[in-house]
Amino acid sequence: MNKPKSELSETKAEYIEHIFEFRIPKGQKSERLDQYITRMVQNATRTKVQKAIDDGRVTVNGIVAKSSRKTHPLDHIVCRILKPPPMQLIPQDIPIKVVYEDEYLMVVNKPAGMVVHPGFGNRYGTMVNAILYYLGKREAISIELDDEDEEDDLDEETRIMISDEVRPGIVHRIDKDTSGLLLVAKDPVTHAKLAAQFAKHTIDREYWAICWGKYSESEGTYTGDIGRSPNNRKMFAVVRKGGKHARTDYFVQESFDYHSLVKYKLHTGRTHQIRVHSSHNRHPILGDELYGGNKIVYGGEFPSYRNKSMELLKIATHQMLHARTLGFTHPATNEKIQLSSELPDDFLNCLELLRK
C-alpha cells in the first residue's frame, strides 16, 4: 500500500545495532584491533569497522579502544556495528513525464533534483518509486541486500538496480541534479538486451551543458581514466592509476564572453564522466557544486560580468547538464529508436541571460 506522505517525510533509514562479542583465547597471536574485528565479523569491511571504532562503539575490557590497539590473550571485545534494515521500495504517486512507451520499455524525462534509485539515505521520492506506481504496482517490495559496505552509495545503487525483486529495471543512471532522458525496461529479457547495448557502447547519448570559459576549438575529445578522487570519496577524478578508460567528445554550440553552450557525446559511461572531464579541462559546468562550477570561474574581474555571473548562479542551483538525446536499437523489433527532449526552464533562463 502507498504510505501517506507524512510517513515518507523522513527518507533516512533507522540503523539497527548489531553486537558482536569476542574473547581472545590463550596463545592467540597479537594483532591490530581493527584487523581482528574485520577478520572475525562475517562480511564486515575495514571501513565499517573503522567507523564503529571512531564512533566509540568498540570496547576492550570495558574501555573504549582505538584501531591501533593490539589484542592480547583473554581480552574481552565488544563491537557494536550499525546496519541498515532491509530495503523497501514503496510505489508512490509522483508525476513523471513519459517520452516513449510500449509493452517492452519506456523512456522518461527525469527532472533535476530527483534521485533515480532508492538508497539507504533516499528511500522515497525516487524515479523507481514513481515508475512502480505508474506501472500499476501498489504493494511495497522488500529487498534483502548482501551485507556489503553501505557507506558506498554507488555500490548500493548497483545492488538495488540489479536485484531480481526490482521491476521495472532502470538500465542506466543519471545523477540526481542532472536532468534528461532515462531508459527503463519492463521485463528481465529487455533489461538484459538493453544493458548489453550499453556495455558495447552502441547506445547514442548526447548531453547539453552550459560551461564556464570559452573553448579554443569548436570540437574535440576528452580522454583520461576516471576513478575515485583520493581527496574526497564522493568525487571522481582523472587519475593515472586505478581508473577506468573514459572518452567524451565535445561540440561547442554557442560561445559567450566567459561561458559556452556545449554538446557532449559519450563513448563510455563512467560515473560523473562529463562533469569530471569538463572540470579537469578547466571548463566546469555552471552550477556544479561538487566540481567547482558553483562559483565565478572566469570574468569575475569585470564588474558587469561579475554581476551577470551572480545572476546566473542564482538560477543555476544545480549543474546545468541535460541528457537531451537517446538512441538505441529496440530489443524486440530491432528498430532504431531516436528520442530527444527539450532543455529545462532553468537551463533556458540561463541561456537567455547569457544572450543579452
Mind listing the pLDDT tens digit for each residue in 111-165?
999 988 776 666 778 888 899 889 887 776 666 554 443 334 334 444 444 454 4
What is the average pLDDT across 345-352? 97
Q: Which residues of 27-51 are buried (b: 16+ CB within 10 A; e: fewer)?
A: eeeeeebbebbbeebeebbeebbee
Domain with CATH 3.30.2350.10 in the chain: 86-199, 204-355
Q: What are the φ and ψ backbone dihedral angles of 148, each rounded to 5 degrees?
A: -105, -170
Class in CATH terms, 16-83: alpha beta
- The CATH-assigned architecture of domain 86-199 is 2-Layer Sandwich (3.30)
Q: What is the pLDDT of residues 177-214, one digit of tens each?
A: 999 999 999 888 898 899 899 888 899 999 999 999 99
pLDDT higher for 348 or 126?
348
pLDDT at 83 over 90: no
Given 54, 55, 146, 175, the catalytic residue: 175
What is the average pLDDT across 230-236? 86
DSSP 132: H
Phi-psi region of 15 (alpha: psi -120 to 50; beta: other; left: phi over 0): beta
Look at residue 64 in the predicted model and tell me its pLDDT.
Answer: 94
Q: What are the φ and ψ backbone dihedral angles of 83, each rounded to 5 degrees?
A: -125, 145
The answer to whether the beta carbons of residues 184 and 108 sit under 8 Å apart is yes
Look at residue 10 in the predicted model and tell me its pLDDT.
Answer: 46
The CA distances from residue 111 to 122, 125, 248, 339, in Å, are 16, 12, 23, 16
All 3 cell numbers of residue 20?
Answer: 558482536
Look at residue 143 in the predicted model and tell me its pLDDT.
Answer: 60
pLDDT band at 168; cut points 50, 70, 90? low
At residue 205, what is the residue type? R
pLDDT band at 3; cut points 50, 70, 90? very low
All 3 cell numbers of residue 43?
Answer: 562480511
Rounded-to-integer distance, Cα 131 and Cα 207, Å: 23
Domain with CATH 3.10.290.10 in the chain: 16-83
Q: What is the pLDDT of residues 319-331, one digit of tens each?
A: 999 999 999 999 9
Look at residue 14 in the predicted model and tell me its pLDDT.
Answer: 65
Rounded-to-integer distance, Cα 161 and Cα 104, Å: 18
pLDDT at 348 over 90: yes
Percentage helix, strand, coil for the chain under 3-state DSSP, each rounded to 5: 25, 30, 50
CA torsion angle 231 234 238 239 (round to 10): 50
Q: What is the pLDDT of residues 56-75, one digit of tens each?
A: 999 999 999 998 999 999 99
DSSP 60: E
Angle (CA) 129 135 141, round 5°: 45
Provide the CATH topology of domain 204-355.
Pseudouridine synthase (3.30.2350)
Look at residue 87 in the predicted model and tell me its pLDDT.
Answer: 67
Neighbours of 350 (CB within 10 A): 23
Which of 72, 76, 82, 64 has the alpha carbon at shortest distance from 22?
Answer: 76
State the chain's mean pLDDT as an integer: 86
pLDDT higher for 235 or 120?
235
Alpha helix stretches (DSSP H) within 104-225: 127-134, 153-161, 188-199
Active site residue 175: yes
- Residue 108's beta-bridge partner residues? 98, 182
Look at residue 2 in the predicted model and tell me its pLDDT.
Answer: 41
Look at residue 152 in the predicted model and tell me its pLDDT.
Answer: 40
